[in-house]
């Protein structure tokens, strides 16, 4: 069997990082480079293991980026198989998300959690939606958060049952969206240990992961390429890219994100502002301006015991020094009055919103609404956001009542959309 495919994830299209339009374009460029590589490598298909988008509700420019880039693959008749990451999931009130729009237009094939008819003694509740292509069978599971660990044995058994009923393929791929223990410095939501994944070992040849933005692999069958552009400064100097798999042999292809310069400058013993600025100049001197290259992102941390008020330090003056040396796209300067350099760098790969979601999920899991975990969690978070924005309490109440009525509906599923690529086809009611 000749097999040739590309596995990538976490493109985060639509992210206007630091409010910069150029960063918005950077994420599209990273996706475009992977698509070009896929075409030039004569790959049979491209896998996107979640988080194609950065937000659940994307705007028109973001959609156009995805449409134009995916059209390049469609024109070459190279299929794209994808799952929904935590950033792609539709809001419960919308039912359908933007990944399903792209599916309906024929620009990708979204693999979803789906039941199928009884198969012998085993009922298929999750893995009924799969793709067979040239001897390869592709399964996929959307982001499940804290539910992931408990569902692993069931996913493995269902894959085995389907393969027994439909014929064992030459190669089995499973796409999932979660992080593994020991990869990032802080524990993430739904993080799994290698031991918890062992039920999948006999059912899956290639576990194609997304979620964590750095590259890692485990034991020759678990692979995560990471994001292809820098989503957080905590990813500084960490490997990121995608995998190219030929005849079952994966090779990691490094991405080329926008260049980052990061400096930790010890201010201990500096007695004057002029000495401080001179120290900054000396630190920057080791990083020469990259002529002809894209403008870098620059992150500077000043740490140590200050001998003068931190309010006396001119951030603008330091930015001028940075501009003279590096011509940056963006500069971030932190002043931390501490002797501990380890306190300077924030290496957490988990956001406050993700921590908030994890806490609410744990609360909901112990209630009668646990079968609607994602919907109820979304409802609580949206209500909180409305309250923070000082929305009228009556509006918040009406929103909760409306959302609750949706949650009560049993067996709520995504709706198939009746239009084709480019918006043509049947009318939408």
Is residue 267 within 8 A of residue 304, CB to CB? The reply is yes
pLDDT for 385 beyond 90: no
Instruction: Tell me the whole-structure pTM to 2 decimals.
Output: 0.82
227-247 per-position pLDDT tens digit: 999 999 889 999 999 999 999
Is residue 87 within 8 A of residue 53, CB to CB? The reply is yes
Mean pLDDT across 290-299: 80
Q: What is the pLDDT of residue 369?
A: 75
If you search the block for the tokens 């791929």, which residue do you land on? 173
Mean pLDDT of the chain: 85
Buried b / exposed e over 292-313, threshold 16 CB at 10 Å, is eeeebbbbbbbbbebeeeeeeb
- More confident: 293 or 104: 104
Is residue 159 within 8 A of residue 204, CB to CB? The reply is yes
CA distances for 200 relative to 226, 398, 421, angstroms: 21, 44, 35
Task: Give the residue among 227, 235, 236, 233 at the shortest CA–CA distance from 255.
Answer: 227
pLDDT for 67 beyond 70: yes
Q: What is the pLDDT of residue 384?
A: 75
The percent of residues above 90 in pLDDT, for the chain, comes to 61
- More confident: 389 or 67: 67
If you search the block for the tokens 């590589």, which residue do you land on? 37
Q: What is the pLDDT of residue 376?
A: 78
Mean pLDDT across 293-302: 90
151-176 per-position pLDDT tens digit: 999 999 999 999 999 999 999 999 99
Mean pLDDT across 60-76: 97
343-383 per-position pLDDT tens digit: 444 444 455 666 677 778 777 777 777 767 766 776 787 67
User: Residue 161: phi, psi to the nearest 5?
Assistant: -65, -40
User: How many other CB atoms are found less than 10 A from the CB of residue 287?
Assistant: 16
Tokens representing residue 184 in the block: 């990032």
pLDDT for 410 beyond 60: no
Q: What is the pLDDT of residue 419?
A: 53
């Amino acid at each position: 069997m000749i097999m040739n495919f590309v596995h990538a994830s976490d493109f985060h299209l639509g992210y206007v990082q630091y409010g910069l339009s150029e960063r918005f374009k950077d994420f599209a460029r990273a996706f475009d480079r992977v698509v070009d590589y896929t075409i030039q490598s004569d790959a049979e298909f491209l896998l996107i293991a979640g988080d194609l988008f950065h937000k659940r509700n994307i705007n028109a420019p973001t959609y156009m980026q995805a449409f134009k880039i995916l059209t390049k693959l469609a024109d070459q008749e190279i299929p794209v198989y994808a799952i929904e990451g935590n950033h792609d999931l539709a809001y419960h009130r919308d039912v359908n998300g933007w990944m399903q729009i792209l599916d309906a237009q024929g620009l990708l094939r979204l693999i979803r959690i789906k039941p199928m008819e009884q198969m012998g003694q085993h009922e298929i509740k999750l893995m009924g939606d799969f793709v067979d292509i040239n001897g390869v069978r592709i399964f996929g599971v959307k982001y499940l958060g804290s539910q992931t660990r408990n569902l692993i044995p069931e996913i493995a058994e269902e894959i085995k049952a389907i393969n027994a009923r439909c014929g064992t393929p030459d190669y089995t791929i499973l796409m999932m969206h979660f992080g593994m223990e020991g990869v990032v410095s802080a524990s993430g939501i739904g993080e799994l240990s290698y031991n918890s994944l062992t039920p999948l070992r006999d059912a899956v040849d290639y576990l194609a992961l997304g979620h964590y933005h750095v590259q890692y692999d485990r034991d020759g069958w678990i692979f995560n390429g990471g994001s292809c552009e820098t989503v957080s400064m905590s990813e500084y100097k960490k490997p990121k890219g995608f995998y190219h798999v030929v005849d079952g042999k994966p090779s990691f292809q490094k991405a080329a994100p926008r260049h980052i310069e990061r400096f930790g400058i010890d201010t201990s013993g500096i007695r004057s502002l002029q000495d401080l600025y001179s120290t900054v100049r000396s630190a920057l001197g080791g990083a020469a301006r990259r002529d002809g290259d894209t403008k870098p992102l620059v992150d500077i941390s000043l740490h140590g015991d200050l001998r003068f008020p931190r309010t006396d330090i001119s951030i603008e003056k330091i930015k001028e020094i940075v501009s003279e040396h590096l011509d940056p796209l963006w500069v971030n300067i932190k002043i931390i009055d501490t002797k501990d350099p380890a306190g300077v760098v924030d290496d957490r790969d988990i956001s406050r919103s993700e921590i908030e979601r994890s806490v609410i999920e744990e609360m909901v899991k112990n209630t009668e609404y646990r079968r609607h975990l994602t919907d109820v969690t979304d409802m609580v978070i949206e209500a909180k956001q409305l309250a923070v924005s000082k929305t009228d309490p009556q509006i918040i109440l009406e929103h909760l009542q409306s959302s609750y009525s949706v949650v009560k509906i049993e067996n709520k599923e995504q709706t198939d959309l009746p239009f084709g690529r480019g918006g043509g086809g049947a009318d939408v009611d």
